[in-house]
A and B are shown apart, each in its own frame.
Chain A
Amino acid sequence: MSRDETMVIVGAGHAGGRAALTLREVGFAGRIVLIGDEAHLPYERPPLSKALLKGESSLQACSLFSEASFMASGIEHLSGVRVTKLEPDLHRVTLDDAVTLDYSKVLLATGGRSRSLDLAGRHFSNVHYLRTVDDALDLQRRLEPGMRLLVIGGGFIGLEVASTARELGCEVTILEAGPRLAARALPERLSDALLTLHRRKGVVIHLGVHIDSVHGNEALESVQLVSGEHLHCDAVLVGIGTQPNLELAQQAGLATGSGIQVNRFLHTSAPDVYAAGDVSEMQRADGAFHRQETWRNAEAQGRLAALNMLGQQAPFETVPGFWSDQYEFGLQTVGVLAADARVIERALSGEGMLLLYLDARSRLQGACGWGAGNSVAKDIKLCERLIESQVLLPLDQLADIRVSLKGLLRGAHA
């Protein structure tokens, strides 16, 4: 890799930022151009719905770079800039001010945007979304003791914002169209535990409900459910998922599905074009494509994309996983929680629990659990190693907490 090469990274979120940093860390001396439509240097998003929203963290604390490390890196950051065109044949991108930039390799880390909810075609000043730090700071200004926050969507963003808002003394109501909370990512057992927790903390939760009509002028003042019930609010947080930013890749003729399709080396269908993070949809060994919107995926794919852009041929092998913090509890998952898996539950201290997902040969494929603080972390990390090692596990002993997971792992290596 020579000094006159240019690496262009489209998207200055976590994955893009990690890729830029990694390029320098491993000694790439050429030009790195990191282009993002936000005004800020790359930052990690998990605190946005938690510590940052609560006023206990700052953009600086979430940033991947300090100002000093950024200056020292010599990375060119084009902030508030969009890439409007990608021409793989010409190895060129066009920016929104019509400037063009030639690249040696390009990484698409365009992430996603909040899926918007159609409120009878109207715009209300107090309806919020949460994707960026600016979104979080806008919402933060609304959260005062006693204010009524209506959360639309019972997924992780909705639940974490509900938790933070309750801790700030807000009155919180969650509306979820499905039959249970966080159903796309969690088993029923954990959905039920979250429901119990939030209700105990004073959140009003309506499951299986749909909005019939919205009322208000400049601000949304109330919604009426199909059931006829009327709910008043001072502000609304909509958390109904994200939509990957695929347009640039689609216009360039790249293969896309629910994301930009990549192989295990994070190559897209076009030469010298890579994709990483929330927007990438990677093909697994079974042939199916999977897209992940997690911190872990952004971190690992951002790093791997950089290494492969520099000529390595390293496959993506990171076991998937995520966490969520709500009130004084922490939830973590690792691996794949398949619907047809055999599930064994281990009790942990307090209200904590760990669910082990085994395949037909009693090898661990996934695990999820929760407990006070980060107490589930040790077990989840052991599960990650058990998944990687694919050791055969003794089904009849797994529910017994006196049987240590570390012992089973060590036994496999003995």
Chain B
Amino acid sequence: MSDQWVEVCHVDDIDEEDVIRFDHQQKTYAVYRSHNSEYFATDGLCTHEKIHLADGLVMDFVIECPKHNGRFDYRNGKALNAPACVNLRTYPVKVEAGKVMLDTQGQGNP
């Protein structure tokens, strides 16, 4: 499958240790900036119930769903506690010329 890099935002549009919602072609993503300014991306909706993760809290490398307290490691999508039990899909992210880029066709860290 070919790469599909799309521009998400400027690197400073996401605060350190925070997350934003990014919608692209009928899909929604959550794009994260860690406390040490690494960038990551996962599917935008919690796997437990379809709720936007971008409203959730980021602490260290963990995103917590805004409603049900399901937690995921956003670096690899791993579901960390009930009620979330299905992992999030992750996507490759890179920074180029001050822009955060996301590969919508790629597979991020397992």
Q: Which residues on A are within 8 Å of B, measured CB to CB?
A: 18, 22, 44, 61, 295-296, 299, 303, 323, 373-375, 377-378, 381-382, 385, 406
The contact of A382 among B55, B57, B66, B83, by CB within 8 Å, is B57
Give the nearest-CB partner of A62 in chain B: B49
- Rounded to whole Å, the gap between the CB of B55 and the closest CB of chain A is 4
Is A377 within 8 A of B57, CB to CB?
yes
Is A374 within 8 A of B67, CB to CB?
yes
Number of cross-chain contacts by CB at 8 Å? 37
The contact of A303 among B57, B64, B67, B82, by CB within 8 Å, is B82
Band of interface residues on B? 10 to 19
Give the nearest-CB partner of B65 in chain A: A377
- Rounded to whole Å, the gap between the CB of B54 and the closest CB of chain A is 9
Is B56 within 8 A of A378, CB to CB?
yes
Nearest 10 CB-CB pairs, A to B?
A377-B66, A374-B55, A381-B57, A374-B66, A378-B57, A377-B55, A381-B64, A377-B56, A299-B83, A323-B67
Give the nearest-CB partner of B18 in chain A: A378
Could you tell me which residues of chain B, from 41 to 89, have a CB within 8 Å of some CB in chain A? 49, 51-52, 55-57, 59, 64, 66-69, 82-83
A377 vs B68: C-alpha distance in the bound complex, in angstroms?
10
B103 interfacial contact with A, CB 8 Å: no
Chain A CB within 10 Å, residue with most, of B17, B66, B82:
B66
Residues in A whose Cβ lies below 8 Å from that of B57: 377-378, 381-382
Is A299 within 8 A of B52, CB to CB?
no
Chain B CB within 10 Å, residue with most, of A22, A61, A375, A406:
A406
Is A378 within 8 A of B66, CB to CB?
yes
The contact sample of 24 A-B pairs, CB cut-off 8 A, is A18-B82, A22-B82, A44-B49, A61-B49, A296-B69, A299-B68, A299-B82, A373-B55, A374-B52, A374-B56, A374-B66, A374-B67, A377-B55, A377-B56, A377-B66, A377-B67, A378-B55, A378-B57, A378-B66, A381-B57, A381-B66, A382-B57, A385-B59, A406-B17
Is B82 within 8 A of A375, CB to CB?
no
Residues in B whose Cβ lies below 8 Å from that of A296: 69
Give the nearest-CB partner of A371 in chain B: B55
Residues in A whose Cβ lies below 8 Å from that of B51: 374
- Rounded to whole Å, the gap between the CB of A197 and the closest CB of chain B is 19
Residues in B whose Cβ lies below 8 Å from that of A385: 59
- Rounded to whole Å, the gap between the CB of B30 and the closest CB of chain A is 13
- Rounded to whole Å, the gap between the CB of B43 and the closest CB of chain A is 17
- Rounded to whole Å, the gap between the CB of B23 and the closest CB of chain A is 14
Residues in B whose Cβ lies below 8 Å from that of A323: 67
- Rounded to whole Å, the gap between the CB of A348 and the closest CB of chain B is 12
- Rounded to whole Å, the gap between the CB of A278 and the closest CB of chain B is 17
Known: A303-B82, A406-B17. A295 touches B55 (CB 8 A): no
A303 vs B68: C-alpha distance in the bound complex, in angstroms?
14
Give the nearest-CB partner of B52 in chain A: A374
Give the nearest-CB partner of A296 in chain B: B69
Hey, what's the 0/1 contact readout for B11-28 against A, CB within 8 Å counting as 1? 000000100000000000
A373 vs B55: C-alpha distance in the bound complex, in angstroms?
9
Residues in A whose Cβ lies below 8 Å from that of B17: 406
A375 vs B52: C-alpha distance in the bound complex, in angstroms?
11
